[in-house]
Structure 1
Amino acid sequence: MPESQYQAFRNPQDRMLNGAVARLTQGLSPISLTLAWFDWAAHLAMAPGLQMRLIEKTGRKAAKLALYARRSLADPAAERAVEPLPGDHRFNDPEWGAFPFNLYAQSFLLSQQWWYAATHSVRGPSQHHQDMVWFVARQMLDVMSPANFIATNPVLLKRTLEQGGTNLLRGWQNWVEDQERRIANKPPAGAEAFQVGRNLALTPGKVVFRNHLIELIQYAPTTAQVHPEPVLIVPAWIMKYYILDLTPQNSLVKFLVDRGHTVFMISWRNPHSDDHALGMEDYLRKGVFAALDAINAVVPGQQVHGVGYCLGGTLLTIAAAALDRDDDRRLASMTLFAAQTDFRQAGELLLFIDDSQVTFIEDMMWDRGYLDASQMAGAFQMLRSNDLLWSRMVREYVLGERTPLNELMAWNADPTRMPYKMHKEYLHSLFLDNALANGHYLVDERPVAISDIRCPIFAVGADADHIAPWQSVYKIQLQSDVPVTFLLASGGHNAGIVSEPGRRNRRYQVATRSETDHYVDPETWRERTPVREGSWWPQWADWLAERSGALQVPPALGRAEAGLVALCDAPGTYVFQT
């Protein structure tokens, strides 16, 4: 046994302590936070000039606030001293323009500006530590926001007076209900209206293959003829697959089937403690490779259009690189939805990724054998605490108003777990070591390189994605030696992908770089590429059709002579695992 593993088993009490602390801190390492603060504070202490400028900045902001106060008393519509950051809607209501609430809001926003400058102007600390200090400062600021308290929020105050405090009673009832549901491990209020197989994941099909890790769904054709090349969709196992088959109106699966494609979907197992030893190699072998083998048996002699979403796209990239390295040309094309292949710009999630943080996350998983979905959800909420946490708590617990769940929100409340070994390898290999981008990721003990991929690539990023920033997704153009079509969609990590035709306020930009075109940086690309209105799905469907053969009779669901018979109807059984 390697020494590192021996030490881990010899000192289980250390891991138990770390795991207990990590669960209290949502996986944030207090050691990592302390190091970040000391790095920042020590450099600030050695910068007397910057200290003087920050003191001057305090005086200027106080003067700016006083000037605004004088102007606003004479003219309530006076120009504000500072505007909220993009995406901050806490002070949008007109009531915030009245005295003294306008001063509360402006004072908060000016303080937020000051803290941003204080955490980002210090020379010397690592960028990671600066970001962590700003993250902690932002959390504290969000806690103290005037939008959170009745006395300083005009909307809350007005509503409470109008309703005689009954909103507070409803808010209390909402809070009690949420705690009862949390303790009983039940989904949030309203999720009962959405059920898989009843009004979600309705596209007809059959499970034609099953192993310990996946069920492979083959969807029934809806057209008299189909393209010969099937489509394999590899969703992330951090989510259940039916985000791509929500309702008939916004199902990407149905959209593809209606366009004459034979579609296969991987439905991942929801791991428990017994699955702690499942690693990245298992997800590759028993996942993507097993699915390809089954599809080749159902539709023999045809290449496959591979489609990967989020982490599923990263795994598909690894699989494609390994196949082409070994001269296996089973993929006709590769499409990546919000999937990263270079993790150096992995967005705000990097706040939770350094050696100390990863150690804490490992110990948090160690005693259970998996990373619980609630722990991942807590981390995502902290990244956008003003929107996902505090604004929601104010709305539901003070105003007493529930936001009705839609199908996407109901899917988001149906999470999965991450097995210990896989998540540990994922964090170390892809995040910390960036092994895939650096050509160090091993498959069969040999490295794979994205430049080995020989099939054309279609990559989709979303302009408001905080999980896989579009600039990071765009980097596939630096790594590949084949034509890459990059599409930038409006929306976030989920809503940018679930962007069906007919949805309002949808737009996208798309351009193809050939092997001979010079590289263009992402911001220049965005400035030069025309904006198109509407859903991007038809654009991608046309791209697939151009790389597919002439229409022919659809294949049967499964292939009995290959031992692939219909095991059950879609959506299968793994999707119901809790």
Structure 2
Amino acid sequence: MPSSSTSSALSSATSSTRCPPPSTAGSPKGMVTVENPADLTENSPGTVVRDARFRDPAWTSNRQLRALRDTYLTATRAANRAVENLPASPNDVRTARFLLDLVTDALSPTNLLPTNPAALRKAVRTRGRSLARGFTHLLTDLRHNGGLPSMVDRQAFTVGQDLATTPGRVVFRNHLMELIQYEPRTAAVHSVPLLCSPPWVNKFYFADLTPERSMVRWAIDHGHTVFMISYRNPDASLRHVGYDEYLLESLVPALEVVRDITDTDEVNLLGACLGGLIGLMLAAWLDDRSLPRLRSVTACNALVDFSDIAEVARTGATGRLLWGPALWLLETLTSARGFASGSHLDAFFRLLRPEELIWSAMRDRWLMGEPPPTYDVLYWSHDSLNVPHRAQQYLLRDLCTENAFAAGTAELAGRRLRLDRVTQDVFLVAGREDHLVPWAAAYRTVRLLPGDVRFHVASGGHIALAAPDSGASYWTGARDDLADASEWLARATEHHDSWWPAWVDWLTERAGPPRTPPPLGSDRHPPMEPAPGTYVLT
């Protein structure tokens, strides 16, 4: 999902209209196939309404239902026109449009059983059994899912048996993280190991789903020695953990352990979402020659320049009436508990796409009585972690409101972070349909880095990059610091393939000569539990 930070989510909510759904095979049915209802022309009995909520033939053939549909769409269109004509700043208009979408999506007649012909027809066909199943789903979701409809079958997978199955051992553990070293699968490996930095809002196995959809296994099969950080699920005792601790007590000790085991002073780093952000922060922070050098950095779906959010927070009614009070409320709640609940963050991310991630699932689960889908990426997306209060506070105040990292004013562990000192080769990839980290915002990172930066846009959304499906594409283009994102994409070359082969080729060029695989663990860091370790199960 969600995954991902509250800040980037808020940015996407207030900087764009309803986004297209992510390209994920096996995910729930797409809702808006062609147009937003607000953009439709006047409807007549012969009009084909291209809104998937009204695709049932009864919405056209039944006179009463057709009138209800047309009334709803006409009212939605009128409300959107009124919002567009508000005498307000563009940011405020976008915020008003987002809030209006929350209301109009909730009021869709398809969300009620008496005005959902597909659900009524199925109830008759099954003699009420679909309604009984739907009621059971409703009760289960009220008890175990915070009252939101389930997006995935939580009983379909077991971590360590179906997911996160690549063999390896835990070689280090502290109060914040475990470090996993994976077993080699080739007779020789590249001399520069790969350290994976996952986001701390979701668990690490985004990169190790089923064996055929495992980025970790892909890298291992191409001769890379892979290490993975696995974060502990924070409770109130970790309320003090901030970005300093994620740096000094996670990435730094991981680098030291990797060097001890592999006997090398260089490491390639792969980070996703917040893990990619902290990876670039590490590259900007490192100047201690006692630590291994970063040879390269790969950042997937990572947001560095938060200028969109900073502008929203500082200008117009959105900043005065929404951002400030919302920030105060969130900090009050996380301060009281010591952390931001992973389940609450997941619910917030779903609100950014309510039709796709709430109402569509509600109709399928509660009205139609259909079981939730079985899909590995969705399972991982909803297996969220809590976020410590101090880390959330730094993200929202320093990185979002002040845009401190991009501005060169951020500090971690007593050092100023300057992106112009990140001279490593950098591989950036963003999802074209990502609603949490819009690819155009991720593109701005290119201009902030002085080194050899390769930017890629891949088909799919925030979670689809973890395991591209068949039919995936990605776009590449030459660096042009004078071009904006749309100009870059217009000149980019489309490749009909997953971005993984391009990435592993790029990584191999920076992974050094071949060597015999290093042992699992060392005298100082002996191997402990088998992968996926213990923290991922909490």
Q: TM-score range by the shorter chain?
A: 0.7 to 0.9
Distance in 2, matches of 1:329 and 1:117, equals 57
Classify the secondary structure of the residue corresponding to 1:393.
Answer: helix
Distance in 2, matches of 1:443 and 1:304, equals 21
| Cα shift at 1:181 | 2.7
2:501 is the alignment partner of 1:538: yes
| Cα shift at 1:180 | 3.1
2:462 is the alignment partner of 1:493: yes
Q: Contact (CA 8 Å) 2:398, 2:404: kept in 1 or not?
A: yes
Distance in 1, matches of 2:310 and 2:117, equals 34
Match of 1:525 in 2: 488
Distance in 2, matches of 1:334 and 1:473, equals 15
Q: Contact (CA 8 Å) 1:156, 1:398: kept in 2 or not?
A: yes
Match of 1:458 in 2: 427
> CA offsets per residue over residues 297-330 of structure 1, 9 Å max, x none?
1122331111110011111111101115989770
| Cα shift at 1:136 | 2.3
Classify the secondary structure of the residue corresponding to 2:477.
Answer: strand
| Cα shift at 1:543 | 0.5
Aligned with residue 572 of structure 1, among 516, 533, 536: 533
Unaligned runs of at least 5 residues, structure 1: 1-26, 37-60
> CA offsets per residue over residues 433-455 of structure 1, 9 Å max, x none?
11001111012433211111011
Residue 438 of structure 2 aligns with an amino acid whose one-letter code is: P
Distance in 1, matches of 2:473 and 2:241, equals 40
Match of 2:388 in 1: 419
2:478 is the alignment partner of 1:509: no
| Cα shift at 1:373 | 1.3
| Cα shift at 1:167 | 2.1
Counterpart mapping for 1:445-484 below 5 A: 445-484=414-453
Q: Contact (CA 8 Å) 1:224, 1:553: kept in 2 or not?
A: yes
Match of 1:178 in 2: 141
Moved more, 227-236 or 568-577: 568-577
Q: Residues 270 and 556 from structure 1, CA distance in 2 versus in 1: closer, same or farther, beyond 3 angstroms?
A: same
Match of 2:185 in 1: 222
Moved more, 518-527 or 451-460: 518-527
> CA offsets per residue over residues 193-221 of structure 1, 9 Å max, x none?
31111111110111111111111111110
Distance in 2, matches of 1:433 and 1:518, equals 23
2:72 is the alignment partner of 1:108: yes
Distance in 2, matches of 1:497 and 1:325, equals 32
| Cα shift at 1:142 | 1.3
| Cα shift at 1:79 | 5.3
| Cα shift at 1:465 | 0.5
Classify the secondary structure of the residue corresponding to 2:370.
Answer: coil
Q: Residues 552 and 446 from structure 1, CA distance in 2 versus in 1: closer, same or farther, beyond 3 angstroms?
A: closer
Classify the secondary structure of the residue corresponding to 1:260.
Answer: coil
> CA offsets per residue over residues 109-167 of structure 1, 9 Å max, x none?
333333223223323x3444333322222121112102112333332232233334332
Aligned with residue 211 of structure 1, among 174, 180, 185: 174
Classify the secondary structure of the residue corresponding to 2:185.
Answer: coil
Residue 117 of structure 1 aligns with an amino acid whose one-letter code is: R
| Cα shift at 1:348 | 13
Match of 1:137 in 2: 100
Q: Contact (CA 8 Å) 2:422, 2:449: kept in 1 or not?
A: yes
Distance in 2, matches of 1:285 and 1:469, equals 29
Distance in 2, matches of 1:312 and 1:211, equals 18
> CA offsets per residue over residues 243-263 of structure 1, 9 Å max, x none?
110110100000000000000
Distance in 2, matches of 1:429 and 1:355, equals 14
Q: Contact (CA 8 Å) 1:347, 1:467: kept in 2 or not?
A: no
Q: Contact (CA 8 Å) 2:431, 2:462: kept in 1 or not?
A: yes
Q: Contact (CA 8 Å) 2:243, 2:412: kept in 1 or not?
A: no
Q: Contact (CA 8 Å) 1:325, 1:448: kept in 2 or not?
A: no
Scaled by the length of structure 2, the TM-score of the pair is 0.86
2:301 is the alignment partner of 1:338: yes
Match of 1:52 in 2: none
Q: Contact (CA 8 Å) 2:153, 2:372: kept in 1 or not?
A: no
Match of 1:122 in 2: 86
Structure (1 or 2) with the larger CA radius of gyration: 1
Classify the secondary structure of the residue corresponding to 2:423.
Answer: coil
Q: Residues 184 and 461 from structure 1, CA distance in 2 versus in 1: closer, same or farther, beyond 3 angstroms?
A: closer
2:363 is the alignment partner of 1:402: no
> CA offsets per residue over residues 343-392 of structure 1, 9 Å max, x none?
12369998898222111111111221111112111111111111111111
Scaled by the length of structure 1, the TM-score of the pair is 0.80
Counterpart mapping for 1:191-206 below 5 A: 191-206=154-169
Distance in 1, matches of 2:532 and 2:68, equals 51
Q: Residues 226 and 236 from structure 1, CA distance in 2 versus in 1: closer, same or farther, beyond 3 angstroms?
A: same
Q: Contact (CA 8 Å) 1:345, 1:469: kept in 2 or not?
A: no
Q: Residues 182 and 477 from structure 1, CA distance in 2 versus in 1: closer, same or farther, beyond 3 angstroms?
A: closer
| Cα shift at 1:398 | 0.9
Distance in 1, matches of 2:74 and 2:485, equals 31
| Cα shift at 1:413 | 3.0
Q: Contact (CA 8 Å) 1:325, 1:453: kept in 2 or not?
A: no
Residue 280 of structure 1 aligns with an amino acid whose one-letter code is: Y
Classify the secondary structure of the residue corresponding to 1:316.
Answer: helix
> CA offsets per residue over residues 76-115 of structure 1, 9 Å max, x none?
4x455xx54xxxx323344433343344334333333332
Counterpart mapping for 1:315-394 below 5 A: 315-323=278-286, 330-345=293-308, 354-394=323-363
2:133 is the alignment partner of 1:167: no
Cα RMSD for the two superposed structures: 2.9
Distance in 1, matches of 2:105 and 2:391, equals 34
Distance in 2, matches of 1:286 and 1:328, equals 14
**Higher RCO (CA 8 Å, separation ≥ 6 residues):** 2
Match of 1:3 in 2: none
Moved more, 429-438 or 442-451: 442-451
Q: Contact (CA 8 Å) 1:324, 1:454: kept in 2 or not?
A: no
Q: Contact (CA 8 Å) 1:178, 1:189: kept in 2 or not?
A: no
Q: Contact (CA 8 Å) 1:336, 1:460: kept in 2 or not?
A: yes
